[in-house]
Structure 1
Amino acid sequence: MSPEIAQREGRAAFRDYETWYRISGDLEGGKAPVVILHGGPGVAHNYVDAYKLLALRGRAVIHYDQLGCGNSTLLPEKGADFWTPRLFIDELENLVDHLRIRSGFHVLGQSWGGMLGAEYGVTQPRGLKSLTIANSPASMKLWVEEANRLRADLPADVQETLTRHEKAGTTDHEDYQKATMVFYERHVCRVVPFPKEVAESFAQVVRNPTVYNVMNGPNEFHVIGTLKSWSIIDRLPDIAVPTLLISGRHDEATPVTVQPYKDGIKGARWEIFEHSSHLPHVEEQEKCMGVVGDFLDQHDN
């Protein structure tokens, strides 16, 4: 943790539950704060921790764990009808009001967080200054098609292991998990071994798998959860704030999955990180913080 960045944690009451959050930097610092939406769903804030470095530019950075994971209320007993995009939009709105930042804030969502950010953006919330959609598909149909294309490039024995265990319903088997990691090291994070904060998020999902399993499925390319038919493509013109798109050249969120955001959001800007996969904030950290920091500075007013 950088000694230059002051941090404080808190909990926001939401319905009968609590949302854990952390503020890096000074909320009264002058620049509009940025709220970071993590992916998964259900992966927790750890792996996007690097975005706290934006606080070095005099901007408060708000991380939080979405309901069902990390330090927030877990609710493993809840089923598919509970875990919906609307729930997480309401949780975000509640956090914005709890922190009293309604007068002006930015949102950056990564992976599922970018899908959630887009869902939030189409509601045209009061106070939203800009939206950054990082490494996110605009439709899960496109995501699955592209994931299967990338999967077809894996070594034959890896593909065979994946298919065999999926057919048998044994996706929790150690061999299946090892085969999955071959895909992850190509298309999720090319810094191997994974940095501590990335490994922490993977471990967190193992401990608290409910949200990820219900909404997504067992992994990034075997999507059998409630989001499998999700799409925001036809609603994208309703996003009315400056929007930055981020992806990596080797990203599981391939250009095909991101293109609808560029086509559908008026004036959207797209930055592709040539040496990254799904986590440019880890893989090309300095450049990523520069691109995002400059974008936020540009749209504070």
Structure 2
Amino acid sequence: MSEKPVQEGFAPFGDWQTWYRVIGDLNAGPLPLVVVHGGPGCTHSYVDSFRDLAALDGRAVVHYDQLGCGASTRLRDKGAGFWTIDLFLAELENLLAHLGIQNRYAYLGQSWGGMLGAEHAVRQPAGLKALVIANSPASMPTWVAESIRLRKALPGGVHETLLRHEKTGDFRHPEYLAATEVFNQAHVCRLDPWPVEVERTFAAMDEDPTVYGTMNGPNEFHVIGTLKDWTVEDRLPLITVPTLIISGAHDEATAECVRPFAERIAQNEWVVFPHSSHMPHYEERDACMQTVSAYLRSRDTA
């Protein structure tokens, strides 16, 4: 396979900058794919594997760090009123326009990125030709309820340990962190060791938890941030673009979390990866890439 051109840059966004990277030619035939990371507050690193699609399909693959994350402008002094869904939608639209692809593109969002993708798609942007929602809930109350169910099923008193420290708000206690790690190994990424790209993202979030802590909370399952009541379930029928839904059999985004996308989006396909939790793009990398590639290729003439 020939080497694809790589371009990195910054898209001005108000007084700030959004870092992005393009692998491949945005003017080539296949739909350019914008890959949107989760969190909120992660970095592009842990979804970097989707760069494989540039080699598989010859399509341009765009990664970016959302505002407050990674190489984009950090804003540690901003409070809850600043970090909103509308902010991240505006940043996405700004990036699409900066790259000149706003009239024809595909979107892949993982976890929070899929939530943002649903919010984007219900607005029916004319240029969106394909949507991939990866490991995402349609409702945070459902996510929280399912997280509690998953916690209770873990061995060794993990749930009780978590509850004890959540009551005191001591989220940095070694016992709490150890119990969190048990959950993460079961339902976030089942690989041992974790890929360096995943470790890199978690280290970045630990170094600057501004966005994640504000919108989500201290971890994946104790959601006390501004998104705790979020849902898109009632608006999903507004999504008219063909949509691929992917999840893992052991995913923290359980079938109950994901099912509303399949039930309420008119044109959809749902694929569950049997050996994966929240990151089939690493846990079953080849199968995941082939699945996404085939779906996007079916939309390239749109």
TM range (shorter): over 0.9
What's the counterpart of residue 257 of structure 1?
A: 257
- State the AA in 1 paired with 2:61: V
Counterpart secondary structure, 1:126: coil
CA apart distance, 1:3:
7.7
Question: TM-score, normalization: structure 2?
Answer: 0.97
How many aligned residue pairs are there? 300
Counterpart secondary structure, 1:152: helix
Measured on the aligned residues, the alpha-carbon RMSD in Å equals 1.1
Query: Residues 85-137 of structure 1, C-alpha deviation per residue, up to 9 Å, x if partnerless?
Result: 11000000000000001221000000000000000000111211010000000
What's the counterpart of residue 170 of structure 1?
A: 170
CA distance in 2, matches of 1:103, 1:46: 27
CA distance in 2, matches of 1:126, 1:140: 28
What's the counterpart of residue 72 of structure 2?
A: 72
Single out whichever of 149-158 and 118-127 deviates more from structure 2.
Answer: 149-158
CA apart distance, 1:162:
1.3
What's the counterpart of residue 54 of structure 1?
A: 53
Query: Residues 117-171 of structure 1, C-alpha deviation per residue, up to 9 Å, x if partnerless?
Result: 0000001112110100000000001100100000001123322321221111110
| Aligned ranges 1:103-182 → 2 under 5 Å | 103-182=103-182
What's the counterpart of residue 18 of structure 2?
A: 19
Q: Name structure 2 gaps, 5 residues minimum.
A: none
Counterpart secondary structure, 2:157: helix
CA distance in 2, matches of 1:261, 1:160: 32
Structure 1 residue ranges (4+ consecutive) displaced by more than 4 angstroms after TM superposition? none
Question: TM-score, normalization: structure 1?
Answer: 0.98
Q: Percent identity over the alignment?
A: 57
- State the AA in 1 paired with 2:269: R
Query: Residues 68-91 of structure 1, C-alpha deviation per residue, up to 9 Å, x if partnerless?
Result: 110001101111111111100000
Single out whichever of 41-50 and 3-12 deviates more from structure 2.
Answer: 3-12
CA distance in 2, matches of 1:104, 1:259: 28
- State the AA in 1 paired with 2:51: K
Q: Is the 8 A contact 2:93 2:102 kept in 1?
A: no
- State the AA in 2 paired with 1:189: C
What's the counterpart of residue 268 of structure 1?
A: 268
Q: Is the 8 A contact 2:244 2:295 kept in 1?
A: yes
CA distance in 1, matches of 2:8, 2:174: 36
Counterpart secondary structure, 1:223: coil
What's the counterpart of residue 83 of structure 2?
A: 83
- State the AA in 2 paired with 1:44: T
| Aligned ranges 1:149-228 → 2 under 5 Å | 149-228=149-228
CA distance in 1, matches of 2:21, 2:159: 40
Q: Is the 8 A contact 2:241 2:267 kept in 1?
A: no
Single out whichever of 194-203 and 4-13 deviates more from structure 2.
Answer: 4-13
Q: Name structure 1 gaps, 5 residues minimum.
A: none
CA apart distance, 1:43:
0.6
- State the AA in 1 paired with 2:107: V
Q: Is the 8 A contact 2:114 2:134 kept in 1?
A: yes
Q: Is the 8 A contact 2:67 2:73 kept in 1?
A: yes
Q: Is the 8 A contact 2:151 2:158 kept in 1?
A: no
Q: Is the 8 A contact 2:18 2:64 kept in 1?
A: yes
- State the AA in 2 paired with 1:76: R
CA distance in 2, matches of 1:192, 1:178: 16
